[in-house]
Structure 1
């Protein structure tokens, strides 16, 4: 009887946990062919286009410099299927990028600038990851794009 109760509790816990997980859909990251380096998606940029879901898929066309600025206020959080592709100059998929071998240190967050114990400014959310051989990363942390830091001065 104890085994059956334990099994029932485990099943209920798994079902509740699965129900609490929010789906962010599918995300396609389109990266210029041959690009190696940090990719930064900078949110809350009012003069930039918005990333919208089309049939559950969000498409992120990354610029040649590895940066994409979007007007969306924040990243969409939750479970998602992420796919990464190299694309040619016309936006045609050339090759799928191997997530396990070529995508590193994926991170979403924002920075705060403060004076003493007081927050003066919160910077926009940035989604970052490194594309390429991990040995080519200059550091093992994502960095805030330089142009965003310049705007805070």
Structure 2
């Protein structure tokens, strides 16, 4: 039983995606998966993906569909984690919204910010169409 739990934990490490977002950033984030990327690293905690100040990031390998656990953090200029950001339901204080990916899995997109900021952004984008 202990061996099964240990093997499960070791195998799950690779399925964790950690998104490090510049402290205070609000807006859309677009992650592109490309084998030539240099902004993602693999650590004992999983794959860490650094988001740039313009909301873009690049990771070397695509996650398997629906098989990865995501964590989001604000990081300061030194790369230290300031606080974790949560994806929650409406009215629960979440700061990660509208996660989606392309059919081929080549891109992953989400919004960072308070619920009211997300709603205004979404309404603005919808009205422009």
Give the alignment's TM-score, normalised by structure 2: 0.68
Q: In the alignment, what sits opposite 1:127? A: 108
How far did residue 97 of structure 1 move?
1.0
Q: In the alignment, what sits opposite 1:94? A: 82
**Unaligned ranges ≥5, structure 1:** 1-21, 112-123, 143-153
Root-mean-square deviation (CA, aligned residues, Å) is 2.7
Residues 30 and 103 of structure 1: CA distance in aligned 2, closer, same or farther (over 3 Å): same
How far did residue 33 of structure 1 move?
0.3
| 2:122 alignment partner, one of 115, 139, 145 | 139
Correspondence 1:61 to 2:54: no
Give the alignment's TM-score, normalised by structure 1: 0.58
**What is the CA deviation profile of residues 12-38 of structure 1, one whole-angstrom value per residue up to 9, with x for unaligned ones?**
xxxxxxxxxx96622111100000000
Residues 103 and 95 of structure 1: CA distance in aligned 2, closer, same or farther (over 3 Å): same
How far did residue 39 of structure 1 move?
0.7
**What is the CA deviation profile of residues 60-85 of structure 1, one whole-angstrom value per residue up to 9, with x for unaligned ones?**
1111111012343x343333321111
**Unaligned ranges ≥5, structure 2:** 1-10, 89-93
